Each structure stands twice: as structure tokens, then as C-alpha cells.
Chain A
Amino acid sequence: GAVVSQHPSRVICKSGTSVKIECRSLDFQATTMFWYRQFPKQSLMLMATSNEGSKATYEQGVEKDKFLINHASLTLSTLTVTSAHPEDSSFYICSASWTSGDTDTQYFGPGTRLTVL
């Protein structure tokens, strides 16, 4: 149990275009999902906390108008990178926590490799 999927696994896009990444909890409901960014050989940096039915909470320094987050259901959160530029190239990873029971543990998706040309 506690499987999180992401789609797509990798995407290459041109500078100036927008890219949408989906994060799904496959076998559990997740009130809260988290979006991280990881640069090569670095740790995971939290970008935002996504709550079902409400606005996301962004970490300091993360542009909310550039990284649009929508958490429309208890099993799906999306991250849209708008007007992507080469410096947005990174590994984007989502995680999800159970709605009830063990709400401490975060289960991570496999990540999405974004390359902006």
C-alpha cells in the first residue's frame, strides 16, 4: 500500500512553454501532498504544501505564480511550471500523507525529470 505515482516521468520542453506534472495517490486518500525540487547531487527542497480544496502554501522564495499547484481531489495534485526557463530544469518529486491514521509519514512518488531547452 501507500503508492504514489507521477506523470510524466520525464519531459523536455522549450523555453517559455508550460508543463503540468501530475501526482496521484493510488491506494489511499491524501488530504495533504507536498512538492519538492531536487537539483543534481543535492537534497530535496520543499516548494509547497498542497491541501485538498484550498490554496497551496508556498515556501519562502518559491514563486506561486510560476509554480501553480492544484489539489482538486483527495488523490490528485498537479504542479504546473509556467513559462519554463532552463533554470527550472530539475527533478520534481511529490509526496503524500494519509488522510487519517498515520499522518506523519510521507510517501514519495518516483519523480519527474524536467529539462527546459
Chain B
Amino acid sequence: GENVEQHPSTLSVQEGDSAVIKCTYSDSASNYFPWYKQELGKGPQLIIDIRSNVGEKKDQRIAVTLNKTAKHFSLHITETQPEDSAVYFCAASRGGYQKVTFGTGTKLQVIP
């Protein structure tokens, strides 16, 4: 089955700096890669996703890149703000009702 590794497990940045979280996956058939933000005691919230026919996608301060050959994808958050502090999960799926495999999570702390 799919295996998703995520690094780092914790990340502290100063407000205004950028944060980068990296993930690798093992199943070459995976073609859908969502990123979720989870605040304490809440369910995960989809923040951005990318499909395998695209190499990069951007939404305001958030961007995701995908390298299918190397089987890795990354989340980039620019101009970080304290409200960005949360746990971020990457995930991979074959899409279309197939199960989503989650990474181990990154706890991001943005220091004011």
C-alpha cells in the first residue's frame, strides 16, 4: 500500500518568514495530493490540493509543488502569520473514492 513520509515533524518560524513542509510517497499510481490544516480539537481542513498533471499550484500565500518522477511534493507558506500555527498533514490518493493515506504531520508554530 501507499506510504507517505513527512518532514519536519515540528517547525518554528518567525512571523513573516516562509515555511516549507516536504512529503514523499511510494505508490506511483497516486495522482491526487491534498494538504490539510488541523487546529487543536478540530477536524482537518483542506487548504490546497494538486493533481499529478500539474507541477505547481498557488493560492494566495500557499503553494504546493509536485515532482512525480521523484515522488515528492511540498507545501510552501509565505509571509506566515500567527494564525497559520497548526498541524499540517500531507496526503496521497489514487483519487476517485480511493482511500487517502496521510503523512505523520508537521506542527507549525509561527512566533509573533
Contact = CB atoms under 8 A, between A and B. Distances in A.
Interface of A: 4, 6, 31-32, 34, 42-44, 46, 49, 93, 95, 97, 103-111, 113
B55 to A, nearest CB: 18
13 contacts: A4-B43, A6-B43, A42-B105, A44-B102, A46-B99, A46-B100, A46-B101, A104-B32, A104-B49, A104-B93, A104-B96, A105-B34, A110-B43
Contacts, number: 53
B41 interface: yes
A43 B104 contact: yes
B97 A32 contact: yes
Contacts of B102: 43-44
Interface residues on B, range: 20 to 34
Nearest to A32: B97
Most buried by B among A32, A49, A104: A104
Given A4-B43, A34-B100, A105-B46, 5 more contacts: A43-B89, A44-B102, A104-B32, A108-B36, A108-B43
B96 A103 contact: yes
